[in-house]
Structure 1
Amino acid sequence: MVDFLGWPLVRQLTGADRLGRGAAAQSPRSRDLEPRTRSADRVVDSVCPFCAVGCGQKVFVKDGRVVQIEGNPASPISRGRLCPKGSASKQLVTSPTRVTTVRYRRPHGTEWEDLDLDTAVDMIADRVIATRRQFWRWEDEQGRRTRHTTGFASLGGATLDNEENYLMKKLYTALGAIQIENQARI
């Protein structure tokens, strides 16, 4: 026997919620739901990492784990709104498929391997120093002092904010690179 009294239409017609916008439309499960933000131990203000716009976010944390990320209404940029990518940014830190190690594929290799961070940073530093040394030019063909390298360049992306682009510009300029761009300028 089917319990017709539990149906939303019956609750709507027999109860006080005639328009079916409140209690008549709720199941026992949905009535007992609580927002994920209510269980948070603390709230941390942050900035969305997806583009250089800098939309404000509120990161809700419980027991050291992110439980929800929402737009920050106090942000003068986004006023509490997030684009679809920003709304899904919780997945950046909570996805079980998130890569949390340095992955490296050797030249002509077919498999990826994990490296510890110190080894990876040393490899990058060695290659930057060798490339800079190999392609360094003290002066051009007419004897004018140049002090630069054309051995490497920098192209920043949309996921970098202004501060990161500023630091990259300073780093690559200090290394002597002359091809330094970011997506916002292109």
Structure 2
Amino acid sequence: MTRERGILRWPVLRQLRGEDPRSDAARSARTDALRPRVEQADKVARSVCPYCAVGCGQLVYAKEGRVTQIEGDPDSPISRGRLCPKGSASKQLVNHPDRQTTVLYRRPHGTEWERLDLDTAMDMIADRVVRTRRETWQQEEDGKVVRRTLGIASLGGATLDNEENYLMKKLYTALGAIQVENQARI
């Protein structure tokens, strides 16, 4: 008889019998103390997962300017609130302690990296693009007008989203580059 009383006291049986309508039997002090990870966020931004070309929607939660959580956006018609393992872990892209936040440059034949400010690095890149385009520009080939350069090429990465790839394609086409590829297609 004691054994039956013990089994009858199991929370799931009490819930099924209707003796515990508020589900208190399945709760514990630890459960009551749990809080949602996003409860403390002071800002929520909608974003798109950066990993592949699918474009899953993300909700990015931040507190005091720091990303605290990234979850799937239930309003996204593409992913309906779901993220793959890479998308779920995309918080590490901005919060990982080893993330590079400064420009590093290694001079030709150099063995050490040096830090550059962003303006200097951007000027160096722009100068090299203009010089390369000028030196490798082809106006004609075999009597045909080609107006192109084979000295500039692009290989986009899978962490770029569709919009970034679109803008890169437009930029390289405007520069006359014809060798434009993306890792996602390879």
Shift of 1:172: 0.7
- State the percentage of identical aligned residues: 69
Unaligned runs of 5+ in 2: 1-5, 14-24
**Whole-Å Cα distance in 2 between the matches of residues 29 and 115 of structure 1?**
50
Could you say which structure has the higher strand fraction?
2
Check 1:149–1:74 CA distance in 2 against 1; reply closer, same or farther (3 A cut): same
Whether contact under 8 Å (2:152, 2:177) holds in the other structure is yes
What letter matches 2:39 in structure 1? Answer: R
Check 1:40–1:14 CA distance in 2 against 1; reply closer, same or farther (3 A cut): farther
Question: In structure 1, what is the equivalent of residue 106 of structure 2?
Answer: 105
Question: In structure 1, what is the equivalent of residue 147 of structure 2?
Answer: 147
Question: In structure 2, what is the equivalent of residue 44 of structure 1?
Answer: 45
Query: What SS class does the counterpart of residue 36 from structure 1 fall into?
Result: coil
Question: In structure 2, what is the equivalent of residue 95 of structure 1?
Answer: 96
How do 1:57-96 residues align onto structure 2 when only pairs under 5 Å count? 57-96=58-97
Shift of 1:185: 4.2
Question: In structure 2, what is the equivalent of residue 135 of structure 1?
Answer: 136
Question: In structure 2, what is the equivalent of residue 117 of structure 1?
Answer: 118
Check 1:17–1:119 CA distance in 2 against 1; reply closer, same or farther (3 A cut): farther
Q: Deviations over 1:114-144 (max 9, x none)?
A: 110011011111111111111111111x322
Unaligned runs of 5+ in 1: 1-12
What letter matches 2:128 in structure 1? Answer: R
What letter matches 2:38 in structure 1? Answer: T
**Whole-Å Cα distance in 1 between the matches of residues 57 and 8 of structure 2?**
43
TM-score (norm 1): 0.82
Question: In structure 1, what is the equivalent of residue 22 of structure 2?
Answer: none
Shift of 1:76: 0.8
Q: Deviations over 1:59-85 (max 9, x none)?
A: 112222211110001111111011111
**Whole-Å Cα distance in 2 between the matches of residues 81 and 143 of structure 1?**
54
Q: Count the aligned residue pairs.
A: 170
What letter matches 1:101 in structure 2? Answer: T
Shift of 1:33: 2.6
After TM superposition, what 4+ stretches of structure 1 lie above 3 angstroms from structure 2? 13-21, 28-31, 183-186
2:167 corresponds to 1:167:
yes
Query: What SS class does the counterpart of residue 150 from structure 1 fall into?
Result: strand
Q: Deviations over 1:63-108 (max 9, x none)?
A: 2221111000111111101111110111111122111111111112
